[in-house]
Chains A and B, each alone.
Chain A
């Protein structure tokens, strides 16, 4: 049997490194869960999960990329391998079947992948899903009605005073028409709405705020880019200085 090519060795080594990285992140997650007395915060857990799934993803691509090489590669002991002293590692390397507990995991995993096809479990039941779709158009409409469309400021900005809004724009900006009645209605509704919608409102406000902030930010950012675009590149200056043309 021919020796392994350097490419294949490198692929094996890379796989090992990535498995090691996966191992580390799994251990980190486990120790976080075990040691922190109130569980780690939601974002922290999310980060862990992301990290692990990224690791898994890279391992899967790595394995499928070198599938052929890995499948056709066989380990065999050389005569000079100390078989007696290192019998454990020898057996581990020569074992072609998976360990029993690993085999159980594999079975479990296969069952999980099969389950959605059987229709056992889905993200939302059909009833919930249709309820969501029924609710969504109404909710979107309600949000849309809170604003005066076609104007350049939101009603909220208008309430706070439009002169305070930094837009960085030079053109004439349209202000939303004033309708006292509408606003009162809106405020009443505000009180009536339950927790969930309040949260949505907050989300929406945030979006608007960031939007008004990004406009001046974008303006200052584009200026230096323009300037450096006008400016000759260092390379061409140097080129001219060395060659004289």
Chain B
């Protein structure tokens, strides 16, 4: 699956106005979204340190050594366990959206309240590749999302060679327009605890508003994205790009949407040799 995306920023003062504009543009009420992100990082392959390093007096590395090194380095990507907090409601009422949706505000309050009372977390394992290189009108990258329903996630990842780094929480509002998802969100910090607890811990959910923000100014980030199942299909790719650019043009006055900075969206883990440290 490929994700085509544009990113922008909304300051705190403009947040409410932007939500209203997006609600008008997409003809829907914002859907409150809360996501818990647990970041995992692969362990450096053990053999890497035994390889001779480049540079210095040794000059150019031997070709086979270089090959080995790229083989070991390849595939070292950050992984995330994303837990979407779903309001604990029977499925039936969710599908019965005609009544609930038309009364936007009421629905809102209700879902907030039920989230406060008891929340279920729907976990999935997210992999996002580094955006494709080159000057592109929109950020394109390979993504994969596997829903995790049961089992010991941490042990599972541990056996794969991934270790827990940290966790944070993303809160915001989602809008949908045709194929496009518009997600206005901000990142909140969570206290760092061990991985096992992090999966189970939902104690902070009732008082989300009290969590410290990553961005002290209270600004929001906006992401407009389209997921394409077959991202290599040039026709679909073209269509997604066109849709996003049309959206960018439509929202030009409200928010500036640009392709993301590839370097900061880089999910590869920089390999550092423990020997040099």
A interface, CB within 8 angstroms of B? 224, 227-228, 230-232, 234-245
Q: Is B219 an interface residue (CB 8 A)?
A: yes
Q: A238-B260, A242-B267, A245-B166 are in contact. Are A231 and B219 (CB under 8 A)?
A: yes
Q: Which residue of B lies closest to A244 (CB)?
A: B39
Stretch at the interface among B18-26, B103-111, B209-217: B209-217
Q: Are B165 and A238 in contact (CB under 8 A)?
A: no
Which one of B6-14, B85-93, B113-121, B229-237 contacts A?
B6-14
Listed in ascending order, the chain B residues whose CB lies under 8 Å from chain A are 7-9, 11, 13, 37, 39, 41, 78, 80, 128, 165-168, 170, 187, 214-217, 219, 221, 260-261, 263-267
B261 close to A242 (CB less than 8 A): no
Q: Would you mind naming 5 contact pairs between A and B with Cβ atoms under 8 Å apart?
A: A237-B214, A242-B266, A243-B41, A244-B80, A244-B165
Q: What residues of A have a CB within 8 angstroms of the CB of B217 in the complex?
A: 227, 230-232
A233: shortest Cβ distance to chain B, in Å?
8
5 shortest A-B CB distances, which residue pairs?
A244-B39, A232-B215, A231-B219, A230-B217, A235-B264
**19 other A-B residue contacts (CB within 8 Å) besides A236-B264, A242-B267:** A227-B13, A227-B217, A228-B11, A230-B219, A232-B214, A232-B215, A232-B219, A234-B7, A234-B260, A235-B261, A237-B214, A237-B215, A238-B264, A240-B214, A241-B170, A241-B187, A243-B165, A245-B39, A245-B166
Smallest Cβ-Cβ distance to A241: which chain B residue:
B187
List chain A residues, Cβ under 8 A from B37: 241, 244
Given contacts A231-B219, A244-B37, A244-B168, contact A238 B13 (CB under 8 A): no
Query: In the docked arrangement, what's the CA distance between A234 and B39, Å?
Result: 19
Give bound CA distance, A64 to B177, whole Å.
Answer: 58
Contact of B78 among A232, A235, A237, A243 (CB under 8 A): A243
- Beyond A242-B264, A242-B267, A243-B78, is A237–B165 a contact (Cβ under 8 Å)? no
CB distance from B93 to the nearest CB of A (A): 32
Contacts of B261 in A (CB 8 A): 234-235, 238
- Chain A residue numbers with a CB within 8 Å of B265 are 238, 242
Contacts of B221 in A (CB 8 A): 234, 237
Residues of chain B lying within 8 A (CB to CB) of residue A235: 261, 263-264
Give, as a whole number of angstroms, the nearest-CB distance from A221 to chain B. Answer: 15
User: CA of A243 to CA of B78 in the docked complex: distance in angstroms?
Assistant: 7
A209 to B140, CA, bound (A): 50
Determine the distance from Cα of A224 to Cα of B265 in the docked complex, in whole angstroms. Answer: 26
What chain B residues lie within 8 Å of A230 (beta carbons)? 216-217, 219
List the A residue with the shortest CB-CB distance to B269: A243
If A230-B217, A232-B215 touch, whether A237 touches B187 (CB-CB below 8 Å) is yes
**Inter-chain contact B166/A232, CB cutoff 8 Å:** no
| A239 & B11 in contact (Cβ 8 Å cutoff) | no
Q: Is the CB of A244 within 8 A of B167?
A: yes
A17 CB to nearest B CB, Å = 25
Report chain B residues within 8 Å CB of A232.
214-217, 219
Please give me the residue from chain A that is nearest to B165 by CB atom: A244
B residues near A240, Cβ cutoff 8 Å: 168, 187, 214
Q: Complex: how many Å from CA A245 to CA B214?
A: 10
Least CB distance from B86 to A in Å reads 21
Complex: chain A residue closest to B215, CB-CB: A232
A116 shortest CB reach to chain B, Å: 51
Chain A residue nearest to B39 in the complex (CB): A244
Q: Which of B219, B221, B264, B267 has the largest number of chain A CB atoms within 10 A?
A: B264
User: Which of B9, B37, B128 is most buried by chain A, counting CB atoms within 10 A of its CB?
Assistant: B9
> What is the distance, in angstroms, from B165's C-beta to the closest C-beta of chain A?
4
CA distance A116 to B86 in the complex (A): 86
Asked if A231 and B7 sit within 8 Å, CB to CB, the answer is no
Query: Which chain A positions have C-beta within 8 A of B13?
Result: 227
Q: Which residues of chain B come closer than 8 Å to A224, judged between CB atoms?
A: 11
| Complex-state Cα separation, A234 to B166, whole angstroms | 20
Shortest CB-to-CB span from B167 to chain A, Å, is 7
Taking CB atoms, residues of chain A closer than 8 Å to B170 are 241
- Report the separation of the CA atoms of residues A237 and B9 in the bound assembly, to the nearest whole angstrom: 10
Q: Tell me which residues across on chain B come within 8 A of A244, comparing CB atoms.
A: 37, 39, 41, 78, 80, 165-168
